[in-house]
Amino acid sequence: MTERTQPAAAVEPELRALQVVRPAAGGMVRHVAVLSAGLRERGIAVSVAGPRSALQAHEAMRLDVDHDLPIAARFNALTDVRSIARLRRLVAQPPAFDVVHPHGLRAAWIAAFVGNRSSVSCIVTAHNLPDLSGMPARVAARISLRRAHAIVAVSQAVADRIAALGADRQRMQVIPNGVPLRPVRDAGCIVGARRALGLPEEAVVLVAVGRLSPEKGYDVLLSAIPRMQSVFPQTILAVVGAGPSEADLAALIARMGLESAVRLVGFVADVGPWLSAADIVVVPSRSEGQGLVALEAMAVGVPVVASRVGGLPEVIKDGVTGLLVVPDDAEGLADALICLARQPDMRQRMGEAGRMRVEDSFSIETMQDRHAALYRSMRKGLQD
């Protein structure tokens, strides 16, 4: 009797996802790059669409843009219609995408008219607290959020803000950004980092990292430096980043006579050495969706002084991993910095507590796992 051949097992179709990114720099670009890499490791084919020239301006961001998709930085009816049409053509081409995942409300608006297709899920990630001062932008945001099959917010503060725009909380979940755990610093690491960066070993070193724009509050931080210097004359502030406020900040530094104390470092591919050199990392933001820089500092064991705004209180435990201060209060910010600068033992304890908090609650692996599970649940929901 001839042995009967068993039919080959059906192969699970590969889930394909398209990340859609507006013109952005810094945290959002790093997030998409890390998320895409993690999803690929979990068996999901990922492509990225966005304005290639803007997103790949800094090669160190390591975000490969597969499909050049121009997206205007601000709402513009004519250019948006063209971008929407281009994205629809891209999604209609085989092989089909299962998930379209725009990041930020600008990209969500462009993707809003693609995700309503029966075979494509649209997942929107809200990274920041939206400032929608114009009626067209508010209407576009509401339409985008209502058309999304699922909404990810990077913090509860962001979730609450977009819920006020009409987002359905039942389709929303909070998935905080994760950061890599760098090697824990020791005294030798700090000294080595300062020597490499040309920083005085004996100085109190403050580091701020981020886009140079008004919402980051760097003007408030500069206003706090003279008070800090009255107690610690050898205070050095390094501001790492680039952006539209660079000229204004340089002019303010000159007017205040802070040229010897403040360094505008510019864009840096790897902020690790600057974090390692810091006594304190400062996040003086007026608005902040989550606070990725605060997490990166905590991951290497550096205490953080930050504004009590947006998602920052969800990241920093006041008095445990750092200190929270009232935004736009230069005097209060200076007092918090002086308090920590005076107490190296407190800085050590807060740094260790911050490292543990990142390990427990803000790992990259957890963030990637939760997104992969969400993608697969979206596909299953469409198939059902």
Any alpha helices (H) in the chain, and if so which ranges? 27-41, 52-55, 77-92, 105-111, 135-147, 156-163, 187-197, 218-231, 246-256, 272-277, 292-299, 312-315, 330-341, 344-361, 364-383
Report, as an integer, the average pLDDT of 321-345.
Answer: 97
168 shares a domain with 39:
yes
305 found inside a domain? yes
Mean pLDDT in residue range 321-325: 98
Tell me the mean pLDDT in the region 315-323: 97
Give yes or no: residues 111 and 141 share one domain.
yes
Counting the structural domains of the chain, the total is 2
Report d(CA 307, CA 318) in Å as an integer.
11
Range ranked top by mean pLDDT from 22-31, 86-95, 314-323? 314-323
Tokens of 169: 């909380």
3-state secondary structure of 117: coil
Mean pLDDT of 306-326: 97
Same domain for 133 and 24? yes
Between residues 92 and 330, the one the model is more confident about: 330
Q: Tell me the average pLDDT across 25-32.
A: 80
What is the reported pLDDT for 182?
Answer: 79
Residue 118 confidence (pLDDT)? 59
Q: What is the pLDDT of residue 25?
A: 64
67 shares its domain with 145: yes
Q: Is the pLDDT of residue 27 over 90?
A: no
Say if residue 213 is in the same domain as residue 161. Answer: no
The reported pLDDT for the residue numbered 5 is 46
Same domain, 252 and 273: yes
Do 270 and 240 lie in one domain? The reply is yes
* Cβ neighbour number for residue 290 with a 10 Å cutoff: 27
Shared-domain flag, residues 200 and 334: yes
Q: Are 110 and 79 in contact (CB under 8 A)?
A: no
The CATH number of the domain holding residue 248 is 3.40.50.2000
Residue 167 lies in a domain: yes
Q: What would the two tokens of residue 325 be?
A: 């201060």
Q: Kindly state whether residue 2 falls inside one of the protein's structural domains.
A: no
Q: Which whole-number Å values give the CA distances from 176 to 93, 125, 157, 173, in the listed order?
A: 33, 11, 11, 10
Average pLDDT over residues 196-216: 95
The rounded percent of the chain whose pLDDT value lies above 90 is: 68
pLDDT digits (tens, 9 = 90+) for 215-248: 999 999 999 999 999 999 999 999 999 999 999 9
User: Each residue of 159-194: pLDDT tens digit?
Assistant: 999 998 888 999 999 999 998 887 778 888 999 999
Residues 110 and 124 in one domain: yes
Note whether 259 and 352 are same-domain residues: yes
269 inside domain: yes
Are both 369 and 356 inside the same structural domain?
A: no
Read off the pLDDT of residues 104-135 as tens digits, 9 standing for 90 and up.
999 999 999 885 555 789 999 999 887 766 77
Confirm whether 295 is domain-assigned.
yes
Q: State yes or no: pLDDT of 136 exceeds 70.
A: yes
DSSP E strands in 111-224: the ranges are 121-126, 150-153, 172-174, 204-209
- The mean per-residue pLDDT over the stretch 244-258 comes to 97
Tell me the mean pLDDT in the region 253-279: 94
Task: Give the mean pLDDT of the chain.
Answer: 89
Residues 76 and 207 in one domain: no
Q: Residue 1: inside a domain, yes or no?
A: no
Q: Is residue 4 part of a domain?
A: no
Residue 27 belongs to a domain: yes
Query: In the chain, what percentage of residues exceed pLDDT 70?
Result: 91
Residue ranges making up the domain that contains 168: 16-178+364-383
Output the pTM of the full model: 0.87
